[in-house]
């Protein structure tokens, strides 16, 4: 099992790091300012509710006595702004990305590029038919596709989610995967890969099914999942979830503007192609609905 940093210093925790409990406080105590300070200084930690208490866990590389001293200083009315945790060099090192903490985020990006190249960004219909929500066949100017029930009976259940990996232009894939990276690289290290994977699968299934019912199987892209990630992250932080994901609140306004713009037809008019508006809307709703599950996973997973 890998270790990071050395005892007595604050370090960056990878997926192999051991975490240890360092504080137990009453459930009703508000730790928002304290945990915000730890995140501001890139101290890897989690707050887990257990019965009538909150337990603060940190990476084993973090000095528990230092965390406890800072907590007592803050609890007694001290100004956290007076505490300096890192040198400039340490801050640069802490900001370095530990790729091992992002298996789902990186997996989504890699699979999207691979699948999009395999289908020739939409030019290879035969390859697309293997990844679409249900199998289809083009005969002349007619599109014939299998119904959902037939697909499920055939056992090809991967089709419920694989449309999210298909993109039909370079702009399409770069736009979606940029957002996957922005949100996933913030969410996965603090909430865990299981929570992120659950949200991705739930939102992909929901948005793909809705889009299929509206337009058939000729669609693809990660946009529904992106809207789910943004919606969930916004609601998690707004409802005081800990640890915070930390996306700027203004992103929600931009997301809603982009969603509304898609329904106006403007995006298609400027050459961005057909927009899967139903998938966007249902993806957003799926992300908001995932909050209770996200809270449960955050509370019960280490």
CB contact set of 8 (below 8 Å; sequence gap of 6+): 63, 66
102-300: CATH number? 1.20.1540.10
161-195 per-position pLDDT tens digit: 999 999 999 988 999 999 999 999 889 888 889 99
**How would residue 269 be classed by pLDDT, with cut points 50, 70 and 90?**
low
The topology under which CATH files domain 19-99 is Alpha-Beta Plaits (3.30.70)
Whole-angstrom Cα distance, residue 175 to residue 225? Answer: 13
Phi-psi region of 130 (alpha: psi -120 to 50; beta: other; left: phi over 0): alpha
Whole-angstrom Cα distance, residue 32 to residue 18? Answer: 24
Q: Where in the chain is the domain with CATH 1.20.1540.10?
A: 102-300
3-state secondary structure of 50: strand
pLDDT recorded at residue 45? 82
User: With 70 as the cut, is the pLDDT of residue 15 above it?
Assistant: no
Query: CA geometry: angle at 105 spanning 99 and 110, to 5°?
Result: 90
What average pLDDT does range 141-158 have in this prediction? 89
Residue 28, strand partner residues: none
Burial 85-106 (b: 16+ CB within 10 A, else e): beeeebeeebeeebeebbebbb
Whole-angstrom Cα distance, residue 252 to residue 226? Answer: 12
Whole-angstrom Cα distance, residue 123 to residue 239? Answer: 44
* Better pLDDT: 49 or 283: 283
Whole-angstrom Cα distance, residue 243 to residue 61? Answer: 19
The 8-class DSSP code of residue 242 comes to S
**How would residue 148 be classed by pLDDT, with cut points 50, 70 and 90?**
very high
* Better pLDDT: 5 or 117: 117
User: With 60 as the cut, is the pLDDT of residue 92 above it?
Assistant: no
Are residues 225 and 284 in contact, defined by beta-carbon separation less than 8 angstroms? no
Q: Where in the chain is the domain with CATH 3.30.70.2080?
A: 19-99
pLDDT over 90, % of the chain: 40
17-47 per-position pLDDT tens digit: 557 888 899 988 888 888 888 887 778 788 8
pTM, entire model: 0.69
pLDDT recorded at residue 9? 35
Longest distance between any two alpha carbons in the chain, whole Å: 77
Are residues 272 and 212 in contact, defined by beta-carbon separation less than 8 angstroms? no
Instruction: Look at 20-34, 56-70, 123-137 and tell me which has the smallest mean pLDDT.
Output: 56-70
* Catalytic residue set: 223, 280
Are residues 42 and 97 in contact, defined by beta-carbon separation less than 8 angstroms? no
């Amino acid at each position: 099992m890998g270790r990071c940093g050395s005892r007595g210093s604050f370090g960056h925790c990878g997926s192999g790091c051991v975490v240890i409990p360092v504080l137990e406080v009453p459930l009703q105590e508000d730790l928002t300012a304290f945990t915000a300070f730890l995140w501001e200084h890139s101290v890897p930690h989690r707050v887990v509710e257990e019965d009538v208490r909150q337990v603060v866990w940190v990476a084993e590389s973090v000095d528990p006595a230092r965390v406890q001293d800072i907590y007592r200083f803050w609890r007694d009315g001290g100004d956290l702004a007076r505490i300096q945790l890192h040198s400039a060099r340490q801050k640069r090192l802490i900001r370095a990305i530990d790729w091992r903490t992002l298996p789902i985020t990186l997996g989504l990006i890699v699979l999207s590029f691979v699948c999009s190249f395999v289908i020739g960004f939409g030019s290879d219909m035969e390859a697309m038919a293997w990844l679409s929500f249900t199998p289809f066949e083009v005969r002349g100017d007619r599109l014939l596709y299998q119904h959902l029930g037939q697909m499920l009976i055939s056992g090809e259940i991967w089709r419920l989610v694989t449309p999210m990996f298909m993109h039909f232009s370079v702009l399409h894939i770069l736009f979606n995967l940029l957002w996957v990276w922005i949100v996933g690289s913030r969410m996965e290290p603090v909430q865990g890969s299981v929570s992120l994977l659950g949200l991705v699968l739930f939102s992909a299934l929901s948005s793909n099914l809705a889009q299929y019912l509206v337009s058939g199987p000729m669609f693809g892209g990660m946009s529904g999942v992106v809207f789910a990630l943004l919606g969930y992250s916004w609601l998690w932080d707004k409802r005081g979830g800990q640890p915070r994901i930390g996306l700027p609140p203004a992103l929600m306004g931009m997301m809603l503007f982009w969603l509304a713009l898609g329904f106006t037809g403007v995006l298609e008019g400027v050459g961005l192609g057909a927009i899967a508006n139903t998938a966007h809307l249902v993806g957003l709703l799926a992300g908001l609905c995932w909050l209770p599950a996200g809270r449960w996973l955050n509370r019960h997973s280490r």
